[in-house]
């Protein structure tokens, strides 16, 4: 499936965002984003999956992904770190995220 913008949003009140091109050694702190999808981690972490939100995310931001099945039940989850981002002359963003740091989605009761 393609990226679905309405399933992507900020977590909490947000921290002071990092700004691309800042001359500071540590330019702000990472922001956290949440994303719910039917796509597996391997699909989400392909280059440019998050191109549509390239203007929002910054390198170092954390995207918490929850993958659901057809019934809306979570089947996997993980955190993806934004590794690179750049903007083409056409205005299109290139965004690449790291492979997921997997979270356990188990229910033993």
Higher pLDDT, 46 or 21: 46
Q: What is the pLDDT of residues 61-86, one digit of tens each?
A: 999 999 999 999 999 999 999 999 99
pLDDT at position 92: 93
d(CA 26, CA 48): 25
Helix (H, G, I), strand (E, B) or coil at 67: strand
Structure tokens, 72 = 């809306």
Burial (CB < 10 A; 0-12, 13-18, 19+), residue 97, is: buried
pLDDT at position 109: 79
- Give yes or no for residue 87 having a pLDDT over 60: yes
pLDDT at position 107: 83
Q: Which residues does 32 contact at the CB level (< 8 Å), separation at least 6?
A: 10, 11, 12, 14, 61, 62, 63, 64
pLDDT at position 67: 97
- Whether 66 and 36 have beta carbons less than 8 Å apart is answered as yes
Q: Give the chain's domains with CATH numbers.
A: 29-103 (2.30.130)
Q: What are phi and psi of 58, to 5 degrees?
A: -130, 160
Q: What is the pLDDT of residues 89-109, one digit of tens each?
A: 999 999 999 999 999 998 887
pLDDT at position 22: 58
CB-side neighbour CA atoms (13 Å) of 35: 28
d(CA 3, CA 109): 33
Q: What is the pLDDT of residues 2-35, one digit of tens each?
A: 899 999 999 876 666 656 665 665 556 788 999 9
């Amino acid at each position: 499936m393609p990226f679905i913008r309405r399933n992507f949003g900020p977590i909490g009140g947000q921290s002071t965002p990092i700004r691309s091109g800042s001359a500071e050694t540590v330019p702000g702190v990472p922001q956290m984003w949440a994303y719910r999808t039917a796509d597996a981690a391997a699909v989400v972490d392909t280059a440019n999956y998050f191109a549509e939100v390239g203007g929002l995310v910054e390198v170092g931001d954390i995207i918490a992904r929850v993958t659901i099945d057809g019934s809306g039940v979570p089947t996997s989850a993980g955190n993806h770190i934004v590794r690179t981002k750049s903007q083409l002359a056409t205005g299109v963003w290139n965004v690449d995220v790291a492979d997921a740091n997997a979270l356990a989605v188990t229910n033993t009761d």
